[in-house]
Amino acid sequence: MKAIETCDLKKYYRSVRGIDGVSFSVEEGDFFGFIGPNGAGKSTTIRTLLGLIEKDGGEARVFGLDAAREKEKILTRVGYMPSDTIFYSGMRVREVIELSAKLRKKDCKKAAEELCERLDLDKNKKVEALSFGNRKKVGIVCALQHSPDLCILDEPTSGLDPLMQREFFNILEEKNREGMTVFLSSHVLSEVGRHCRSAAIIRNGEVIACDSVRALGHTGVKKVSLSGFKGEIDLDGARDIKREGENVRFLYSAPPKELLSVLSGLEFSDVNISDPDLEEVFMHYYVKEGGAK
């Protein structure tokens, strides 16, 4: 069964486009990245899946359940961490975590205790006294303490220090190995490239690519690095040219034979041809679709 499935999902805020025909699916047990810049429609898609906003068209299903009509059933199986984690002022961290568990009618004390310890979270502090990063930690505990089947994370690592980011992804990977599906919305492409097995790229409210992270790298674009190159790159199909002294790096979209033929006519001391990383893939889709800003 698919953990998430959307088909031509649409949402407009009056006449302003939120998402316009989002279609993708996430397999159960996957570690899925949802990539796009601010305003692309990531949060709108997530909010529709969670029943926070009503869709204007299309379909959204979570574990086969309709996101609009069966949201309570869906939410029993989902943990969610919003990008901006805000809790009831005046409450202590412990009380917020307990409230979240009670709203789920579950006893999550043991799991909450363990998560707080791993994230080095002081449960006796008042939530308004917490830094942004510590509020994020409370959000992580609330999203994971009930052992959900699907965890939806919206920009989860902003505000977390590198050590905490590593511990956070360790926890996610452990839970993922135990069967939890992870849906990670982010514009930090390196973390998606490092941790996700599949990903979708969203641009201007539409999913423009959805595949395994490895397959997304096979875009027909090659990353070419030349060392000891003194000349100028003046090739059709070359872009994102970056020069540091005699080292030149660029992306090249053309058949491999043509690339080799062109390179054989250039003077350089070393060459490296590889698939681009996720960031470069992302830029490739944006430039190709004319969406780069």
Encoded one letter per residue, x for contact with other proteins by CB under 8 A and - for no contact, window 24-53 reads -----------------------x--xxxx
Between 44 and 176, name the residue whose CB sits nearer to other proteins: 44
- From the list 103-111, 179-187, 216-224, 225-233, the region that binds other proteins by CB under 8 A is 103-111
The rounded distance, in Å, linking the Cα atoms of 150 and 169 is: 15
Range 131-144 burial, b when 16+ CB lie within 10 A, else e? eeebbbbbbbbbbb
How many residues contact other proteins, by CB under 8 A? 29
Between 74 and 160, name the residue whose CB sits nearer to other proteins: 74
Identified binder of other proteins from the candidate list 69, 102, 166, 243, rule CB under 8 A = 102
Between 149 and 279, name the residue whose CB sits nearer to other proteins: 149
The rounded distance, in Å, linking the Cα atoms of 19 and 21 is: 6
Contact 138, 87 (CB under 8 A): yes
Q: Is 129 helix (H, G, I), strand (E, B) or coil?
A: helix
Question: Binding to other proteins (CB under 8 A): which residues in 152-211?
Answer: none
Q: Which of 79, 192, 186, 195 lies closest to 138, judged by CA?
A: 79
| Structure-block tokens of residue 110 | 């043991």
Contact 149, 77 (CB under 8 A): yes
Give 217's DSSP letter: H
Encoded one letter per residue, x for contact with other proteins by CB under 8 A and - for no contact, window 234-273 reads ----------------------------------------
Virtual torsion, Cα 97, 99, 105, 109, nearest 10 deg? 30
Binding of other proteins at residue 54 (CB under 8 A)? yes
Question: Binding to other proteins (CB under 8 A): which residues in 136-155?
Answer: 142
Question: Binding to other proteins (CB under 8 A): which residues in 71-90?
Answer: 71-73, 75-76, 78, 80, 82, 84-90
Q: Is 96 helix (H, G, I), strand (E, B) or coil?
A: helix
Contact 208, 285 (CB under 8 A): yes
Q: Smallest gap, in angstroms, from Cβ of residue 213 to other proteins?
A: 27
Sign of CA dihedral 14, 18, 24, 29: negative
Between 69 and 177, name the residue whose CB sits nearer to other proteins: 69
Give 90's DSSP letter: T
Q: Smallest gap, in angstroms, from Cβ of residue 90 to other proteins?
A: 8
The rounded distance, in Å, linking the Cα atoms of 111 and 116 is: 9
Q: Smallest gap, in angstroms, from Cβ of residue 180 to other proteins?
A: 16
Residue 124 dihedral angles phi and psi, to the nearest 5°: -95, -5
Between 88 and 132, name the residue whose CB sits nearer to other proteins: 88
Identified binder of other proteins from the candidate list 64, 69, 103, 256, rule CB under 8 A = 103
Q: Smallest gap, in angstroms, from Cβ of residue 120 to other proteins?
A: 22
Q: Smallest gap, in angstroms, from Cβ of residue 66 to other proteins?
A: 14
Contact 213, 276 (CB under 8 A): no
Question: Binding to other proteins (CB under 8 A): which residues in 115-134?
Answer: none
- Report the interface residues with other proteins, using CB under 8 A: 13, 47, 50-54, 71-73, 75-76, 78, 80, 82, 84-90, 99-100, 102-105, 142
